[in-house]
Chain A
Amino acid sequence: MDTPSGKLVRSHCVGTTAVVYASDYLNKLTGEKIERECRRQLSGGCRALVIDFSDTKLVNSIGISILLGIIDVAEKNGARIAFSEVNNETVQLFEMLGLTRHVVLAKDEREALLNLSHYETTPIVH
């Protein structure tokens, strides 16, 4: 999927879990691309989402709102979400704003997939 900078929103599937990679700055332009990719993966049958923040330095207010939208859609689809490789400042921001109540925080992608793996056996609730 294209980003405004011409780069692709990277994503891949591990079983029924989709891993979507956030870009360096999660704002309106990039956030909406990620949101669309997450929606696409969920409507394509994914039961869990990992959003990887390894490249992400900053998340602004629009980024937060868009992430909440993704959490909302995932919950409505009966899917779980994990955030992986989130830097310390962003972890503090997510905790302060209460996003961590709705997602699993994982050290890296592998740990996130492990955390979510048991969920794959649960049927999707649409």
Chain B
Amino acid sequence: MEPSTQKLIHTFGALADLGQEIAGTGDFNEMVRTSMHMLLGTLALRRGAVVECTEGGPLRCAALWGLSDHIFEGFEINDAEKQSFLQGEANELLVGSTAVSNSFINRHRDRLTAEGIELVLPMIVRGEVTGLILLGGKASGEEFSGDDFETIRAMVRHIGVGIHTHRLLEQVAQRAEENRRLYDDLRAIYRDTVRAFAAAIDIKDKYTQGHSERVGKYSEIIARELGWSEEEVEGIQIAGYLHDIGKLIVDRDIINAPYNIDAKNSSELNRHPAAGYEILSPINHPYADIPLMAKYHHERLDGRGYPDGLTDEQIPIGAKIVSLADSFDAMTTDRPYRRRRSFEDVVRDLRENSGKQFDGKVVAAFARALLKEVNGDTKERRITKMLGKNYLEGEQVPTLLSDLISDLEEVSRKGAKAQSHS
């Protein structure tokens, strides 16, 4: 093979490898080091370095080979020197030439010569000097030819663009990270605000303090048990916190009446889901359907709920979850006109009303989550903690829950079978 052909093949191979390296998504420092090796190896240069311009003038070494580590201590470039690189010709980049007018090379000539640097090339991206590549002499001892200059310039352009692109990507990643943190902060602020609202709602009703917060937590637990995504779980929790926000427009005396209220007052109280929807609709929530969950949390599968008398399929699943969480908390907390119900009684209610008031699948999911806590299958004790000490004591609790789950699953299986036959 002719030496010139072999040289071309070697150079093309190096350019192809360089393109691949620069386009890669690997470690930045490794990319620069490898690119420099490719440049040095193409012309068999014995030493070299890649330095980046930083703000204020100091040059930062990104890679070096065959040079002492301290060569770049106090090394800097000013704006005028960058300008002289933009205007200079190829022969202006040779350190050994005394005719060089490049002010950077003239200022650092002694240091560069002592380190065996023969050529200094600027990395120019969009008309700006972003760094320098310093190169030692050829292993052959020959001087740089015109072809060598062309090859080196092409590779330096590649490396310059590669470094610039990687730096931009780093900045983009950094900004994305900052935005993510800001977004997380905003979400935290939103959640805290919502919880403050929930507390404000509950303060209006002196007998149900902490109710909205508990409904939010129960709703979250049920949604998680149903396999919802983290985003959806957060959304249902917020809906739980805000489900009673419509009570803000209901007369405090009606809410706090220590007896069963009459039809007129009941009608006033029953306005709160629709009022909640009116309050929540204009807000651009980061989660879907929160106003609807508030509006429909008193709907029933049998159509006897309010405000719209929707039936099973018409009720959003989120509203079904909030409905169960709301009723469960109402049954398991003291009210002005009654003590809270026993757990056995609550389970009986859930069984009897599954398919009428509550969705059986939602009840089963809640029961599963509670059974996991009772059996110690999970370290979390969130439901049991909300229910308070001693409430779930008794050997029959796991059995009650297991039986409820089995019964509901059986109903669900039969329902699915009947549906497939029809």
Which A positions have Cβ atoms within 8 angstroms of B? Answer: 28, 60-66, 68-69, 71-72, 89, 92-93, 96-99, 101-102
Contact = CB atoms under 8 A, between A and B. Distances in A.
B164 interface: no
Contacts of A60: 13-14, 17, 41
Given A62-B38, A68-B40, A96-B6, A102 B17 contact: no
B271 interface: no
B141 A101 contact: yes
B139 interface: yes
Given A68-B66, A93-B10, A97-B140, A61 B46 contact: no
A89 B34 contact: no
A65 B174 CA distance: 34
B255 to A, nearest CB: 72
Given A89-B6, A92-B6, A96-B7, A61 B141 contact: no
7 contacts: A28-B37, A62-B38, A64-B44, A65-B38, A65-B40, A96-B3, A97-B44
A66 B6 contact: no
B139 A61 contact: no
Contacts of B39: 61
A99 B44 contact: yes
B44 A68 contact: yes
A98 B65 contact: no
A85 to B, nearest CB: 19
Given A72-B46, A93-B10, A96-B3, A64 B141 contact: no
Contact of B41 (A65, A71, A72): A65
Contacts of A101: 139-141
B66 A72 contact: yes
Interface residues of B, number: 27
A66 B43 CA distance: 13
Q: Which 10 A-B pairs have the closest CB atoms?
A: A98-B140, A61-B41, A65-B41, A97-B44, A64-B41, A61-B14, A98-B139, A65-B37, A65-B40, A62-B37
Given A68-B46, A92-B3, A93-B6, A63 B66 contact: no
B7 to A, nearest CB: 6
A19 B42 CA distance: 26
Contact of B13 (A61, A69, A71, A97): A61
Interface centre among A62, A64, A65, A89 (most CB of B within 10 A): A65
Nearest to A28: B34
Interface in B1-52: 1, 3, 6-7, 10, 13-14, 17, 34, 37-47
A55 to B, nearest CB: 20
B89 interface: no
B37 A66 contact: yes
B138 interface: yes
B43 A97 contact: yes
B17 A65 contact: no
Contacts of B38: 61-62, 65
A50 to B, nearest CB: 19
B138 A98 contact: yes
A92 B37 contact: no
Interface in B41-90: 41-47, 65-66
Contacts of A69: 65-66
Nearest to A88: B1
A69 B7 CA distance: 21
B393 interface: no
A18 B45 CA distance: 25
A89 B140 CA distance: 18
B147 interface: no
Contact of A102 (B6, B43, B139, B142): B139
Contacts of B141: 98, 101
B251 to A, nearest CB: 77
Given A62-B38, A72-B46, A97-B43, 13 more contacts: A61-B10, A61-B42, A62-B37, A64-B41, A64-B44, A65-B37, A66-B37, A71-B46, A93-B6, A93-B10, A97-B138, A97-B139, A97-B140
